Amino acid sequence: MTLPEATVQRLPIYLQCLEELSKDRVSSEELGAKAGLNPAQVRRDLHYLGSKGTRGVGYDATVLSQQLREALGLDQGWGVVIIGVGNLGTALANYGGFDERGFRVAGAFDADPDKVGRRVNGLTVEHVDGLAEAIVERDVHMAIITTPAGAAQGLVEMLAEAGVRSILSFAPAVVRVPPGVRYRRVDLSTELQVLSFYLSNGVG
């Protein structure tokens, strides 16, 4: 299945809106209104998915929901590790959304010996030295990095080496990413600066 990048970014939104609407039929009109999107956009996206609506009626919410979950691979139970157990890492470890969305949290790691052994939401924090091994043994394919910026580059290389193909990083660092690895950076500071731009330049 090959869909436009922009469409992929919207699939999780559709899934969430669908759950919040909790109806058994939805039109592109309704779904668009909820998600803040043009109905034509919704139809095109769902069409890419291979979804089949009924003209004059709309889409079957149960079927659609299942198609979204399947396209997103939420039934695959992908294994995830959290690296860096500071406040942010702890927040993520405590976040209930993993199981709910079908992800399997396979471990939490930190370089600080003081943090190793600590328990977080049913996990015992392990030392990063054991990370590469754990990734292979526990069949992990995704990693979330919440370490300081300096550690990010090395971790990304190590993770790629160990077979991780998707990385979500909260470390405020610009990183060179090995080919074949999907890297998504979320940076508070960047987001704030963009908001600051619009505040400073008066655009709604």
Partner DNA sequence: CCTTGTGAAGTGGTTCACAGCT
Partner DNA sequence: AGCTGTGAACCACTTCACAAGG
Shortest Cβ distance from residue 30 to DNA (Å)? Answer: 8
By CB under 8 A, residue 39 contacts a copy of itself: no
Shortest distance, position 63 Cβ to DNA, whole Å: 11
Q: Residue 188 corresponds to which tokens in the numbers above?
A: 């508070």
Q: Cβ of residue 49: shortest distance to DNA, in angstroms?
A: 9
Closest residue by Cα to residue 161 from 188, 140, 185: 140
Does residue 195 interact with a copy of itself by CB under 8 A?
yes
Give least dist CB 57 to a copy of itself, A. Answer: 24
Residue ranges binding DNA (CB under 7 A): 4-7, 26-29, 37-41, 43-44, 46-47, 51-59
Give the relative orientation of helices 39-48 and 5-21 as an angle to the nearest 10 degrees: 110
Give 48 or 98: the residue with its C-beta nearer to DNA.
Answer: 48
Kindly tell me the sign of the dihedral angle through the C-alpha atoms of 190, 191, 196, 198.
positive
**Nearer to a copy of itself (CB atom), residue 130 or residue 138:** 138
Smaller CB separation from DNA, 94 or 193: 193
Please choose, from the candidates 152, 149, 151, 123, the residue with its C-alpha nearest in 3D space to the C-alpha of residue 138.
Answer: 123
DSSP secondary structure, 71-107, as one string? HTTTTS--EEEEE--SHHHHHHHH-THHHHTT-EEEE
Number of helices and strands (H, E) in the chain?
9, 9
Residue bearing tokens 């328990």: 119
**Residues in CB range of 114: below 8 A, 6 or more apart:** none
The Cβ of residue 130 has, within 10 Å, a number of other Cβ atoms equal to 13
Q: Which CB, 28 or 90, lies closer to DNA?
A: 28
Q: Contact between 197 and a copy of itself (CB under 8 A)?
A: yes
Binding positions for a copy of itself, rule: CB under 8 A:
1-2, 8-9, 11-13, 15-17, 20, 34-36, 71-74, 76, 78, 80, 86-88, 90-92, 94-95, 97-98, 100-101, 103, 141-142, 144, 165-168, 172, 174, 176, 179-182, 184, 186-201, 203-204
